[in-house]
Structure 1
Amino acid sequence: MGKIGSDYKKINLADWNRKEHFSVYRSQMKCGFSLTTKINITNLLPFIKENGYKFYPVMIYLITRAVNNHEAFKMAMKDGELIVWDYVNPIYTVLHPEAETFSALSTVYDADFAAFMANYNRVAERHADDLRFFPETPPENHFNISAIPWINFDSFNLHIADFTDYFAPSFTIGKYQQQADEILMPIAIQVHHAVCDGIHVAKLIATLEAYCKDIGTVLKSQV
Structure 2
Amino acid sequence: MNYKVVDMEKYYRKGVYRHFTEDCKCSVSITNKVDVTELVEFSKKTNTKFYVNFLYVLSKVLNSREDYRMQYLYEKQQLVIFDKVNPVHYVFHEDTETCTVVYTEFQEDYQKFYQQCVLDIEKAKQTREYGLDSVNHPNYFDASYISWLSYESLHIELPDGYLHFMPIVNWGRYQEENGRYVMPVSVRMNHAAADGYLVAKVFRLLEEEIKKGL
Count, aligned residues? 211
Equivalent residue for 1:214? 212
Matching of residue 146 in structure 1 with residue 141 in structure 2: no
Equivalent residue for 2:189? 191
Answer yes or no: is the 8 Å Cα contact 1:127–1:135 preserved in 2.
no
1:158-197 CA distances to partner (integer Å, 9 max, x unpaired)?
1123113111111110011111121100001111101111
Residue identity (%): 27
| In structure 2, distance between residues paired with 1:172 and 1:135 | 17
Answer yes or no: is the 8 Å Cα contact 1:40–1:213 preserved in 2.
no
Equivalent residue for 2:106? 109
1:53-99 CA distances to partner (integer Å, 9 max, x unpaired)?
11111111110110000211110123212111001010112111121
Unaligned runs of 5+ in 1: 1-5
Q: Is the alpha carbon distance of 1:135 and 1:71 closer, same or farther for their aligned partners in structure 2, counting shifts above 3 Å?
A: closer
Q: CA deviation at 1:135?
A: 6.4
Specify which of 156, 174, 177 is matched with residue 175 of structure 2.
177
| In structure 1, distance between residues paired with 2:110 and 2:37 | 20
1:20-64 CA distances to partner (integer Å, 9 max, x unpaired)?
110110122100011000100111111101111111111111101
Answer yes or no: is the 8 Å Cα contact 1:8–1:85 preserved in 2.
yes
Q: CA deviation at 1:125?
A: 2.6
1:54-203 equivalence runs, <5 A: 54-78=49-73, 79-134=76-131, 139-203=137-201
| In structure 1, distance between residues paired with 2:117 and 2:147 | 19
1:193-218 CA distances to partner (integer Å, 9 max, x unpaired)?
01111111122211110111221xxx
Greater alpha carbon shift after TM alignment, 118-127 vs 98-107: 118-127
> What one-letter code is carried by the residue in structure 2 that aligns with 1:134?
G
Equivalent residue for 1:21? 16
TM-score of the aligned structures, taking structure 1 as reference length: 0.90
Moved over 3 A (4+): 135-138
Matching of residue 43 in structure 1 with residue 38 in structure 2: yes
| In structure 1, distance between residues paired with 2:107 and 2:58 | 12
Answer yes or no: is the 8 Å Cα contact 2:91–2:125 preserved in 1.
no
TM-score of the aligned structures, taking structure 2 as reference length: 0.94
Q: Is the alpha carbon distance of 1:135 and 1:199 closer, same or farther for their aligned partners in structure 2, counting shifts above 3 Å?
A: closer
| Root-mean-square deviation over aligned CA pairs | 1.4
| In structure 1, distance between residues paired with 2:67 and 2:85 | 12
1:102-122 CA distances to partner (integer Å, 9 max, x unpaired)?
112110110101111122122
| In structure 2, distance between residues paired with 1:127 and 1:176 | 25
Unaligned runs of 5+ in 2: none
| In structure 1, distance between residues paired with 2:146 and 2:94 | 13
